């Protein structure tokens, strides 16, 4: 027996088992034995706590997202990931570019995903400017700082979603889908 330890999981004993499958010679008894062995091993797996894999959630969607991120590599990666799931993405490197993009689209943006700390115009200022033009605009702030750190700089009762950095592309897409779902 050998032990495998994963950082986030308890120690699990792993044993190497050999399970010989009976050879079928056309005799009904050997087919029954093979089916019984297969059923028994499936039952043992269920008793051991292994469950069938969960179906993956549908993370595809539609809509126009304004992605505001001053770090070019991260912005590019996130934009590519969102596009691959069916979204139309407009990229901006700061709040001023984001406002220009919003004006060019005549406000036809379904969601804004914005960093909080950026040069020239930070996320809270961007939110105030955008909500002055479209009070119902949905926004997700992403930041390595705690949500409380910038929430104080927003007007009271502002609605927004928050995704702490670092995050995976799957987490971003899930947050986008959840925020855009009515």
How many domains, in total, are found in the chain?
2
The pLDDT value given to residue 172: 97
CATH number for the domain that contains residue 134:
3.40.50.2300
Question: Dihedrals φ, ψ of 65, to 5°?
Answer: -115, 130
Q: If DSSP codes are grouped into helix, strand and coil, which group holds residue 112?
A: strand
Give domain status of residue 1, yes or no: no
Q: What percent of the chain has pLDDT over 70?
A: 71
Q: Does 117 fall in a domain?
A: yes
pTM of the predicted structure, to 2 decimals? 0.68
> Are 34 and 72 within one domain?
no
For residues 102-130, average pLDDT: 92
Is 16 within a domain? no
**Residues whose CB is less than 8 angstroms from the CB of residue 125 and which lie 6 or more positions away in sequence, other chains included:** 95
The confidence band for 52, taking pLDDT boundaries of 50, 70 and 90, is confident
Same domain for 29 and 70: no
Which residues is 4 bridged to in the sheet? Answer: 12
Q: Domain for residue 45, yes or no?
A: yes
Helix (H) or strand (E) holding 134: none
Q: Which domain holds residue 39?
A: 24-52
Answer for the pair 98, 126: CB distance below 8 angstroms, yes or no: yes
Residues 76 and 127 in one domain: yes
Do residues 48 and 74 share a domain?
no
> Is pLDDT of 12 > 60?
no
How confident is the model over 120-150, as pLDDT tens digits?
898 889 999 999 989 899 999 998 877 776 6
* Residue 103 and residue 44 in one domain: no
């Amino acid at each position: 027996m050998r032990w495998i330890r994963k950082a986030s999981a308890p120690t699990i004993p792993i044993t190497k088992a050999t399970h010989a499958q009976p050879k079928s010679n056309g005799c009904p008894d050997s087919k029954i034995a093979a089916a019984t062995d297969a059923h028994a091993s499936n039952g043992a797996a269920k008793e051991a706590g292994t469950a069938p894999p969960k179906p993956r959630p549908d993370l595809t969607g539609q809509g126009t997202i304004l992605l505001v991120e001053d770090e070019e590599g991260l912005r590019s990666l996130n934009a590519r990931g969102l596009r691959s799931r069916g979204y139309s993405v407009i990229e901006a490197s700061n709040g001023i570019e984001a406002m220009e993009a919003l004006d060019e689209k005549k406000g036809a943006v379904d969601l804004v995903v914005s960093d909080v700390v950026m040069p020239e115009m930070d996320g809270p200022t961007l939110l105030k400017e955008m909500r002055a033009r479209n009070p119902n605009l949905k926004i997700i702030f992403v930041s390595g700082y705690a949500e409380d750190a910038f929430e104080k700089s927003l007007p009271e009762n502002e609605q927004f979603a928050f995704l702490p950095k670092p995050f995976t592309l799957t987490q971003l897409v899930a947050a986008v889908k959840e925020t855009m779902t009515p």
